[in-house]
A = this chain, B = another copy of it.
Amino acid sequence: MPPTDELSPQERAAPRRALDRAVVVEEAIAMIDAEGLEALTMRSLGARLGVEAMALYRHVNGREDLLEAIVDSLVDSIAVDPGDLFEPADGWQAFLQWMAHSVRSLAVAHPAVFPLVATRHPAAPWLRPPLRSLRVVEGFLDGLTRRGFTDGQAVEAYRVFTSFLLGHLLLEVATLGATTSPVEEPLDEGGAAVRPPGEEVSVEDFPTILRTAPLLSEDHTVEEFERSLEALLDRLDLVLSQ
């Protein structure tokens, strides 16, 4: 091979990568992870990539399209059963466990982006977050029907499964954001519409909360996820066997 293949001058010194759609999206995700959703701005993302804001418009059709692409990118990283990893004989329970943990690891890896995945309107009304891509839904339904579910059962499982994932993971990333977030706000401030100190509400007025406070502040997100997943599988098992 010819030696002309060496690094070109700007490849050596350039602190900025060549821009394309994938790079823009990837860097946007990294930025949200690092500084939060509200910090993602066309201008700031451009700056992060060493480029003016308008340069991004060559690769992305505006901010909305960028957010859409971010969501798509994350959802496409969900590992649906590869087919050769699990034999159908492994059972649908293992299959669903695998999928659940795949989605959960996505959420935990990008807690600040997950609310976007959860709340943006999907392309079709029957595409339910967080399993909101055709590829993933196809994999889900196919995986179940190949393991003995009827079409109706698979679709019903899709519905309860998405509800389960959405509820648990949204709450999990919320607590994650709370413990990691920049700083705890003082929650009070001299201002216009603040309550007069006489009628301030406080935890003191709620005896049951006060009593259970130590329990409430324990973090059980992980076990909770596992046990609720188990419960869901049990429930599906019951529905299947009748």
A interface residues with partner B (beta carbon < 8 Å): 21, 57-61, 65, 115, 118-119, 121-123, 125-126, 128-129, 134-135, 137-138, 141-142, 145, 151-152, 154-155, 158-160, 162-168, 170-171, 174-175, 177-179, 181, 187, 189, 191-193, 201, 203, 205-209, 211-212, 215-217, 220, 224, 228, 231, 235
Contact = CB atoms under 8 A, between A and B. Distances in A.
Contacts of A217: 125-126
Nearest to A24: B193
Contacts of A209: 134, 137-138, 141
B212 A154 contact: yes
Given A61-B193, A134-B206, A151-B212, A123 B171 contact: no
A206 B164 CA distance: 24
A61 B192 contact: yes
**Chain B CB within 10 Å — which of A175, A201, A208 has the most?**
A208
